[in-house]
Amino acid sequence: MAGAELAEPGPRPGTACPDAGAGAPAGGAPGAGGEAARRRAERRAARIASGASELEQRLADLLRGGLASAEASAYDRWDETAARMVDAQAPGLASRVRELASVAGSGAGADRASRLLEECALLHTLNQGYLRVDELPEALAATVRARVGITADTATLLATSAPVRDDWLALAQQDADDGRLITRRVWLRGRRTGRMALLLSYGPVGRPPELSFPAGVSLDAELAYHPSARPLRAALGTRHSAPVPSPGPPPAGGVAAALAAYGEALRDDPWLESWPVVLGPVIPVRMPSGDWQLVDEEGEAGVPVDARQGGRAAVWQLAAVSGGEAVTVFGECGFRGVVPLGVWGVGGSGPVPL
């Protein structure tokens, strides 16, 4: 599949294609087609509810037996549970189950039980949210539906949502290959609205997605955002220009502002893994422990650099671009810190992908 759409940080690349399966119809279609779509959506909702109830029982059994006794041998059982969630057409639940399984099978580390409890709590909250989705405020209900894996297809979204036109600057583009599918992530920022969006496009292994927006180009286009308590996901609609180079960094904020933005997003969507932020001016500083932080130019605040995605090479590349001087950094802010994805060096030169 080589289609494309804009999506928020939800399931990580490779866990599920956002348009897999038919989502709840947004507005429906006239006549028999609309009625058929409504019935399909109702059947899928019932399957997901059944899957969520089954998952609740599995969590109860896990907690009843004690988290400390959860062994790596239980991985296969959780993998089977994840497969059952896929069968229930709930790829978002399946993704979270696989994350729980990976924690359960991660050995006997000191934080293993606490991490298991965190994953269980998030999964339980999502299950209960879906089982009571009709009682939730509409924005939160939309977020819950998206997190379990119910999404409107691109055509439906573009036909039923108000478009947002802007000059969208590409902040970063990255590909992930899980052996079955290549997922391309492109972060965009609207110059006039200041809104963020994440473009996801997919392609089979050996044939990268056709859609490409390298960091540093801008595009005059319309986006249609998916409903959410914290709207971020959208579909790419009409393009009013071809992508053109756009030198210079985007507007940036300090460390405190970035952490506040992440906290506010997490308040609206407790299942959020990260939130896009543009930091600057900041200086990469190596701490005595060997870890790195992005520190405000005044030295009053800092945030850890999370090197899990790009590895230490990305951190050293960031430091090399900085050369001890203040830079502008785009990345994803999560509870472990900021994953740097791009940096603009001194003098406003074009972005360097990390």
- Convert the pLDDT of each residue in 113-149 to its tens digit: 788 889 999 999 999 999 999 999 999 999 999 999 9
Pick 109 or 225 by higher pLDDT. Answer: 225
CB 188 within 8 A of CB 171: yes
User: What is the average pLDDT across 288-314?
Assistant: 90
73 conformational bin, left if phi > 0, alpha if psi -120 to 50, beta if neither: alpha
Q: pLDDT grade, residue 21 (50/70/90)? A: very low
Q: What secondary structure, in 3-state letters, does 222-284 show?
A: EEEECCCCCCCCEEEEEECCCCEECCCCCCCECHHHHHHHHHHHHHHCCCCCCEEEEEEEEEE
Residue with tokens 């709930």: 90
- Convert the pLDDT of each residue in 180-215 to its tens digit: 899 999 999 999 999 999 988 889 988 888 888 999
Give the CA distances from residue 222 to residues 101, 158, 169, 202, 232, in Å, rounded to whole numbers and listed in that order.
39, 10, 13, 20, 14
CB 329 within 8 A of CB 343: yes
pLDDT at 71: 61
- Convert the pLDDT of each residue in 22-60 to its tens digit: 334 444 444 556 788 889 989 999 999 999 999 999 999
The token duo for 55 is 């998952």
Mean pLDDT of the chain: 85
User: What is the average pLDDT across 245-272?
Assistant: 93
pLDDT at 27: 43
pLDDT at 331: 96
Distance CA 45, CA 212 (A): 34
pTM of the model: 0.84
- Convert the pLDDT of each residue in 213-234 to its tens digit: 999 999 999 999 988 888 888 8
